[in-house]
Amino acid sequence: MRDHHSQLGTGFVAYVAIGLARHIKRDQEQFEAAIAREVCECHNFTGVFEYILRAEATDLVAYKHFHTEVLGILPQVSSIMTYVVMGSLKDERA
């Protein structure tokens, strides 16, 4: 298994499921504008959550800052669920 994240200085990778408080276009646009430069990927989903983000950070402390100081202050966000990547069997982006 290749560990390209540690080589790139991004030892912490997580997928973050985001639920919005309201399902209106304005809230979606404001949320997207607020996080666009903060994450590697942002996908709009249907189902339990509205968005899945792929976030990379140097470590857990750096991710906690993103979780608390970026996502945690957005009024559009009603829920945050973090899935920490422990290893990757296959990642063709590397």
Residue pLDDT, tens place only, 49-58: 999 999 999 9
Q: Which residues contact 60 (CB under 8 A, 6 or more apart)?
A: 12
pLDDT band at 2 (very low <50, low <70, confident <90, very high): very low
What does the block give as tokens for 70? 């970026």
21 vs 15: CA distance, rounded Å: 20
Q: Region 55-63: what's the mean pLDDT? A: 93
23 vs 64: CA distance, rounded Å: 26
> Which is more confident, 93 or 31?
31
Amino acid identity, position 52: I
Q: Region 48-68: what's the mean pLDDT? A: 94
CA distances from 52 to 7, 38, 69, 80 (A): 25, 13, 18, 10
pLDDT band at 77 (very low <50, low <70, confident <90, very high): very high
